[in-house]
Structure 1
Amino acid sequence: MANAFVAGRTVLASEEQALVEARARLLGPAYRLMYNSPLHFVKGEGVWLIDAAGRRYLDAYNNVTSLGHCHPAVVEAITKQVATLATNTRYLHEAILELADRLIATMPNGAGHLMLTCSGSEANDLAWRIARSATGGTGVIVTETAYHGITDAVAKFSPSLGSAVELGSHVALVPAPDGRTGDPCESFPRAVEAAAAKLQRHGVRPAMLIVDSMFTSDGILADPSGFLSPAAEVIRRAGGLFVADEVQSGFARTGGQMWGFQRHSVVPDIVTMGKPMGNGQPVAGLIVQPELVQDFGRRARYFNTFGGNPVSCAAALAVVDTIAQTGLMENVARMGERMRKQLRALAVRHQALGSVRGAGLLCGVEIVDGTEPDAIETARIVNGMRNRGVLISSCGRNHNILKIRPPLVVTEEHVDLLVGTLGEVLAAR
């Protein structure tokens, strides 16, 4: 939540202050900056971001460039393709077909259609349209601090955007599966069932349950594995679809598998994807079970001017190739386990650290004052890490969960630096 990090800004150098003032003048009031003291980066290199003074920062926040900044394979693929052809999907081209074939093969049943967009917001918007067409319903069930995008339709079921962005009357919220209401394997499906029944009592037929498979905005909730499978069956019995939003948890982020939902032994009706898909090149999309898109395809032409262009497809193929050929899934699993082990050891020495959770290189650390969430200390830690050259963020309904998601290519040295820096910040409390 960027707003948590802007109070009490420090005095900026004249060049940075000029940039801040130019942003306000040229971009308007809706844009936000991270951290108490804004950062001005001029270069990215692997796990590092480099500012105008040449200082290097370990980027443990940005999960878009998940292979690392300016990854050579992606840079080469983009450069070669943009110098050859950049057009749209209304012409024949091999790249989009190869990408579709490769991604569909990663699905549990090896079936589906790939439809490409430019952003995860667009992908979830398209999933919403398909779900309405396939089910005849309009109701949407999401968790209470979910984030699924910023289009008009999707913002209506993204409660993490805040009270200023109204939820739709067709939207039902369920508690995040964080144990507050009991074992998520039992409580989460029951909550979905109750939400579907509530929608139906108000004359709203459920169209879909959509979840970020790692519940990132809710506080990064990975365990216990398996609770999504009965919840998917609940929404299907109510006439809706189960949509796995993999925009934040996909492309090997959770370690050992390509997609976050695979930890739950569930086959989604629709899988949406984006963010790390092009390692910085805009590309996103969804994979939908064939029978669900038939009616939509007959009645509505789908076209996206830039979604699926050969340059973005080349970038996405480079990402898929790199994950498959360089052992990244195994590295993510090893480094993620190393990071959580060290964080739990740190929690023994510092009472401000509560639960440590996550999977792979998506990790959440609860910050507490006694037993109460401590958003103020969370913001202090995030800014303290930034001042020491390590970038993280926060999430959760109480804004008290450290959100840590370094590039998939991090090494033991980087993990040790991250946790060591957190220890320094905690000691300076």
Structure 2
Amino acid sequence: MTDTRHAVPERSREELLRLRRAHLNPTLSVAYREPLKIVRGEGVWLYDAQGQGYLDMVNNVCHVGHCHPRVVRAGAEQMARLNTNTRYLHDALVEYALRLTATLPAPLSVVFLTNSGTEANDLALRLARAHTGARGTIVVDHAYHGHSPSMVELSPYKFNGRGGEGQADHVAVVPMPDAYRGAVRDAADAGPRYGRMLAGAIDELRARGHRPAAFYCESLLGCGGQVILPDGYLRQAFAQVRAAGGLCLSDEVQVGFGRVGDAMWAFEQQGVVPDILTLGKPIGNGHPMGAVVTTPEVATSFVTGMEYFNTFGGNPVSCAIGLAVLDVIEEENLMDNAVRVGEFLTAGLREIQARHPGIGDVRGRGLFIGAEFVSDAAARSPDPARARVVVEAMKARHVLLSTDGPDDNVLKIKPPIVFSRANAEEFLEKLDGVLGALPVG
């Protein structure tokens, strides 16, 4: 007989909103004008309390699909057997480090496991400072690297946003390498030209008395508006930073684990190898997990006598789940799926763009895609109002999307990478219908 004395009661949407306002973090937001009460997930679908399914086009956390049976089983079986910390020997911890580093180019071979992408980026900053003896950090405009105090300082998305305290003395900001609306547009050499802009940031830090410890850069820019780095950007930027004595960090908290399709890691598409790689979100398919991977030289610099110990980082349950995610990516050929479906989806969006002038640019790699709305195609003036209308109209048609970018005018598309061609066809048909029903201009 089931004991229901402490069962979670079912509450209405209105009651949930009231209780959230009264008892939860007051800065916590909800999605959409009429918030959804989601109670179940499966694959690329989320289901509300009435059983209505919504095609999830924006959840890059449940990387291999919501509630993937293999991942769920791996976590449940390990949790039923043992969960403890890394001061005990355990096969899963070592096996995960071996399996993860086998996907990476040399010399990225030393793993630190954490509980989130924020923790990973925060730890990476400590590694960079220990190795270089410097504090200065270079970041890309509108970047977001986490919510800890140190990471808010490295996130223009936060420190230059509402409630932000502005740029810290030890931080320099370089322009987004946006070849569509940035300072360098439609140029074959946009990547190197943007990369050379780091020289000014290095000089700026030196003028304030700081040497560069690290350059933080997402391998594809998420909060920046689904921006694809122009060819040659990281090669030039990394060269500038290393010549000044700093380390180069690739933040793949959003875009790693095969999302780009033709590579496991998006930095590989730039032909570079970072000194430090940070991971999160898709690593555990919704389970709280993150990682830092670095070189033996950088890791050795961190050995100062102070132990780095993380109570939950690298626990057996997390490692079992992480291994299951790697298994599913490989055995279900999800990188190939990301290539094929991503190409179909991008081509379909460009066909829609040709019929609807409100879409100024379509860009993407694999299943990381952006569609930028503009009010004037020639001037490339952002149109956030139209983007918001599209998101709400698609939600009414049971497709979940969101927007990003400095002007909040970019439709961000990053579904679980089990997203199929049939799912893409449904999305494209509904988007075409929504745009066709909107007034021109």
Scaled by the length of structure 2, the TM-score of the pair is: 0.92
Matched position secondary structure for 1:298: coil
Displacement after TM superposition at 1:140 (Å) = 1.0
Q: Which residue of 1 aligns with 2:170?
A: 170
- CA–CA distance in 2 between the matches of 1:184 and 1:396? 19
Q: In structure 2, how many angstroms separate the alpha carbons of the residues matched to 1:138 and 1:223?
A: 26
Contact 2:225-2:404 at 8 Å conserved across structures: yes
Structure 2: runs of 5+ lacking an equivalent: 1-10
The one-character-per-residue Cα deviations of 1:63-89 (angstroms, maximum 9, x if unpaired) are 000111000110110011000000011
The CA deviation at 1:293 is 1.8
SS in 1 for 2:197: helix
2:192 and 2:232 in contact (8 A); partners too = no
Structure 1 residue identity aligned to 2:113? L
Q: 1:372 aligns with which of 369, 381, 392?
A: 381
**Does the CA-based 8 Å contact 2:174-2:197 persist in structure 1?**
yes
Q: Indicate conservation of the 8 Å contact 2:108/2:276, yes or no.
A: no
5 Å-filtered alignment, 1:240-389, equals 240-370=246-376, 371-389=380-398
Q: What SS does the corresponding residue of 2:374 show, helix, strand or coil?
A: strand
Q: Which residue of 2 aligns with 1:204?
A: 210
User: What does residue range 4-403 of structure 1 map to in structure 2 within 5 Å?
Assistant: 15-109=12-106, 111-161=108-158, 162-166=161-165, 167-179=167-179, 180-182=182-184, 183-370=189-376, 371-403=380-412
Are the equivalent residues in 2 in contact too, given 1:156–1:165 (CA < 8 A)?
A: no
Match of 2:4 in 1: none
Contact 1:226 1:263 in 2 (8 A): no
- In structure 1, the gaps of 5 or more residues are 1-13
Pick which of 415-424 and 271-280 moved more: 415-424
Instruction: State the secondary structure of the residue aligned to 1:210.
Output: strand
User: What is the CA-CA distance between 1:97 and the residue it aligns to?
Assistant: 0.5
| Aligned with 2:428 (options 393, 415, 419) | 419
C-alpha displacement at 1:31, in angstroms? Answer: 0.4
Between the aligned partners of 2:307 and 2:133, the Cα distance in structure 1 is 18
Match of 2:8 in 1: none
User: Tell me, what secondary structure is at the counterpart of 2:342?
Assistant: helix
Matched to 2:48, the amino acid is D
Which amino acid is the alignment partner of residue 389 of structure 1?
H
Other structure's SS at 1:356 match: strand
Residues in 2 aligned to 1:420 and 1:299: alpha-carbon distance in whole angstroms: 60
Letter in 1 for 2:282: P
Displacement of 1:300 after TM fit? Answer: 2.4
Residue 325 of structure 1 deviates from its aligned partner by 1.6
Letter in 1 for 2:211: R
Q: Is the 8 A contact 2:214 2:249 kept in 1?
A: yes
Deviations 1:112-160 (A, max 9, x none): 2100100000000000011011111111111110000000101111111
Secondary structure of 1:83's counterpart equals helix
Structure 1 distance, partners of 2:60, 2:282, is 6
Question: Quick one: which amino acid aligns to residue 309 of structure 1?
Answer: N
How big is each residue's C-alpha offset from its partner over 1:53-110, in whole Å with a ceiling of 9 and x where there is no partner?
Answer: 1100000111000111000110110011000000011110011101101111111115
Contact in 1 for aligned 2:387/2:410 (Cα 8 Å) = yes
Matched residue count: 416
Query: 1:19 Cα deviation (Å)?
Result: 0.7
Question: 1:58 and 1:225 mapped to 2: Cα distance?
Answer: 33
Amino acid at match of 1:181: A
- Find the residue that maps to 1:38 and give its secondary structure: coil
The residue aligned with 1:8 is none
Once the two structures are superposed, what CA deviation does each residue of 1:26-68 show, in whole Å capped at 9, x if it has no partner?
Answer: 1031100011110101100111000001100000111000111
Provide the secondary structure at the position in 2 that maps to 1:228.
helix
Check conservation: 2:113, 2:313, Cα contact below 8 A: yes
2:169 touches 2:208 (CA, 8 Å); kept in 1? Answer: no
Contact 1:333–1:360 (Cα < 8 Å) also in 2: yes
Shift of 1:226: 3.1
Matching residue of 2:6: none
Following the alignment from structure 1 to structure 2, what is the Cα–Cα distance between the partners of residues 59 and 283? 22
**2 CA distance for matches of 1:20 and 1:215?**
32
Q: What letter matches 1:175 in structure 2?
A: P
What corresponds to 2:437 in structure 1?
Answer: 428
Q: Deviations over 1:239-281 (max 9, x none)?
A: 1110000000101111111111011010100000000101011
Amino acid at match of 1:39: L
Q: CA deviation at 1:299?
A: 3.3
Q: Secondary structure at the match of 1:394?
A: strand
Q: Match for 1:165: what amino acid?
A: G
Structure 2 distance, partners of 1:354, 1:296, is 47
- Which residue type is aligned with residue 189 of structure 1? G
The separation in 2 between residues aligned to 1:234 and 1:28, in whole angstroms, is 42
Output the CA distance in 2 between the equivalents of 1:209 and 1:184.
19
Q: Measure how far apart 1:187 and its partner are.
A: 2.0
Distance in 1 separating the partners of 2:362 and 2:298: 39
Secondary structure at 1:145's aligned position in 2?
coil
Deviating more after overlay: 151-160 vs 110-119: 110-119
Q: In 2, are the aligned partners of 1:361 and 1:408 still within 8 Å (CA)?
A: yes
**1:414 aligns to what SS in structure 2?**
helix
| AA partner of residue 164 (structure 1) | G
Q: Is the Cα–Cα contact under 8 Å of residues 142 and 171 in structure 1 kept in the other structure?
A: yes
- Superposed CA RMSD in Å reads 1.2
